[in-house]
Amino acid sequence: MDRFLFLTLDGLSRGAVYAAFALALVLIWRAGRIVNFAQGAMAVAAAYVAYSVTAATGSYWLGFGAALLAGLLLGAVVDIAVMRLVDHRSPLNPVIVALGLVLLIQAVLGMVYGNEYLPAQTPFSRSALTVGGTAVLSPYDLFVFATVGVVGAALVWIFTRTAIGLRMRAAAFAPEVSRLLGVNVGGMLTLGWALASGVGALAGMLVIPTELGLHPHAMDLVFVSAFTAAVIGGLDSPPGAVVGGLGVGLLLSYVSGYAGGDLIPLAVLALLMTVLLVRPGGLFAPVTARRV
């Protein structure tokens, strides 16, 4: 029972990060009907920026801030310099271009930092606190929950309470009408990319220290897990992405705890295949099996 509690809390902590990353995928999907397959690579790039800043200044928090800033900037640059130029009439094109970005970003990171695992710091201890003899959460887990909670609340606030959020939603739902109402639709899309990439960078900062460390491919499997979470949520639904993220986190924690950590990749693939076979539109959307 203790073990179950521990695995549940651990899974929720892991799931919170997947939720944040899935949220970033959903943001771009809603804004531009693109699944940003480069999001993992972009998040890793931001984490490397944090690594350099922390190495230079000795401060984790300066590095953390630098990663968020780098994430925001990289998102905006990718939209303006690449995605905006791509012909979106075929849905294959943006996907292929995003994969080109994956190769390019991972290659540049490999050239600059090398293809070895670098240690990734955490600001708080990762050893679990015990309550009444039961290992529960580590201070780092609490930090993860707090950060993801704050970011989620901030996103909700931006999108539902601010003028810029209203513009972004309008631009996503009805670009042409929004332009007629004076909304700079292109600018809103860029802002959406920046925000999503910033959230992705944050998720990367949170998850990388809990895995093997910093590496150009560090987010590959995280991306697949978060994509699965987003698909469970229906790709279109931010609350769905959060629920999906927590669900995937829990499942992987139980698999890892009861059956062995080696089985995690297989579990992710099996889950994704099952979801796609049973409810391709996600659990939170009406079934739309065939999206062209």
Partner 1 sequence: MTADLLTVEALAAGYGPVPVLHDVDLRVPTGTIAAVIGANGAGKTTLLRTLSGMLRPTAGRILLDGRDLRGTAVEQLVRRGVAHVPEGRGVIGELTVEENLRLGALWRRDRGDAARALDEVYQLFEPLAARRRHLGHQLSGGERQMLALGRALVGRPRLLLLDEPSLGLAPRVVAQTMALLRRLRDENGLTVLLVEQNVRSALAVADQGIVMSLGRIALAAPAARLRDDADLRHAYLGF
Partner 2 sequence: MSATRAAARPGRATAVESTRPRRAVPTLLRHLAVAAGVALLVLMASYQLDSFRNFQLATVAAYLCATAGLTVLTGLCGQLSLGHGALMATGAYALALTQSAFAERGLIAGGWLIVSLVVAVLATVVVGAVVGVVAARLRGPYLAGLTLAVAVVVPALTVTFDGVFNGEQGLPVPVAPAPAGLGLYFPHERWQLWVAAAATLLCLVLLANLVRSRYGRSFRAVRDDEVAARLAGIHVARTQVIAFVVSAASAGLGGALLAVLAQRVSPGAFGLTLSLFLLMAVVIGGLGRLAGAVWGAFLLVALPDLTHSLTNLFTLSPAAAQRLEGNVPLAIFGGTLIVVMIAAPGGVQGLLSRLTGALRARWPVRRS
Q: Which residue has the tokens 């130029």?
A: 85
Identified binder of partner 1 from the candidate list 1, 81, 85, 163, rule CB under 8 A:
163
CA nearest 186: which of 83, 36, 37? 83
Between CA 121 and CA 43, with CA 194 as vertex, the angle to 5 degrees is: 30
Residue 179 touching partner 1 (CB under 8 A): yes
Identified binder of partner 2 from the candidate list 1, 133, 163, 290, rule CB under 8 A:
290
- Asked if 208 and 214 count as a contact pair (C-beta separation under 8 A), the reply is yes
Residue 273 touching partner 2 (CB under 8 A): yes
- Cβ proximity to partner 1: between 23 and 202 the closer is 23
Residue 176 touching partner 1 (CB under 8 A): yes
Q: 47 exposed, middle or buried (CB, 10 Å; 0-12, 13-18, 19+)?
A: buried
Total residues in contact with partner 1, by rule CB under 8 A: 17
Contact positions with partner 1 (CB under 8 A) in 180-219: 180-185
Beta strands in the chain (DSSP E): 130-131, 134-135
Cα–Cα distance between 151 and 245 in angstroms, integer? 15
Total residues in contact with partner 2, by rule CB under 8 A: 54
Distinct helix (H) and strand (E) counts, the chain: 11, 2
- Cβ proximity to partner 2: between 189 and 235 the closer is 235
Identified binder of partner 1 from the candidate list 35, 71, 83, 167, rule CB under 8 A:
167
Contact positions with partner 2 (CB under 8 A) in 87-126: 87, 89-93, 95-97, 99-108, 110-111, 114-115
Residue 156 touching partner 1 (CB under 8 A): no
Can you read off the two tokens belonging to residue 192? 């959406």
Q: Which residue has the tokens 């860029």?
A: 190
Residue 173 touching partner 1 (CB under 8 A): yes
Residue 285 touching partner 1 (CB under 8 A): no
Question: Backbone phi, then psi, for 72, in 5-degree steps?
Answer: -60, -50
Residue 213 touching partner 2 (CB under 8 A): no
173 binds, among partner 1, partner 2, none (CB under 5 to 8 A by kind): partner 1
- Cβ proximity to partner 2: between 15 and 165 the closer is 15
Question: Backbone phi, then psi, for 185, in 5-degree steps?
Answer: -65, -45
* Site of interaction with partner 1 (CB under 8 A): 163, 166-167, 169-170, 173-174, 176-185
